[in-house]
Amino acid sequence: MSTVFAESEAISLRARGFKTEDIAAGLIESVSRRVAVMAQQAGLNQNVAFVGGVAKNAGIKKTVEKELGISLYVPPKPQITGALGAALINCELK
């Protein structure tokens, strides 16, 4: 689902009287299902690290874990994991 469509759908649901928290929960479930499908297609089924800023969202972490049937490892500062890895690789290249 594109973010434009998701936003439009969320606005429409809100206008029809749905609670904001119910809409947010639905979005989290939808994103989690999509991530789980992609992870399974990539062959990920154990020892999975959940990184990036979204990993700080406990709701998404919980629902992705539920969809995959495994526990995800979240590093202490998941939002900097990619940048830290890029910096380390850059240091090795010099």
Residue 45 belongs to what domain range? 3-93
pLDDT bracket for residue 57 (50, 70, 90): very high
Q: How many CA atoms lie within 13 A of 19 on its CB side?
A: 3
H helical segments located in 1-94: 3-15, 20-41, 58-68, 81-93
Q: CATH number, domain at 53?
A: 3.30.420.40
Instruction: Return the pLDDT at 15.
Output: 92
Tens digit of each residue's pLDDT (9 = 90 or more) over 10-44:
889 989 999 999 998 988 888 888 888 998 899 88
Burial class (CB in 10 A: 0-12, 13-18, 19+), 38: exposed
Whether residue 79 is predicted with pLDDT greater than 90 in this model: the reply is: yes
Q: How many domains does the chain have?
A: 1
Q: How many CA atoms lie within 13 A of 58 on its CB side?
A: 0
| 44 Cβ contact partners less than 8 Å away, ≥ 6 residues apart | 68
pLDDT bracket for residue 1 (50, 70, 90): low
pTM, entire model: 0.74
What is the SS3 assignment for 49?
strand
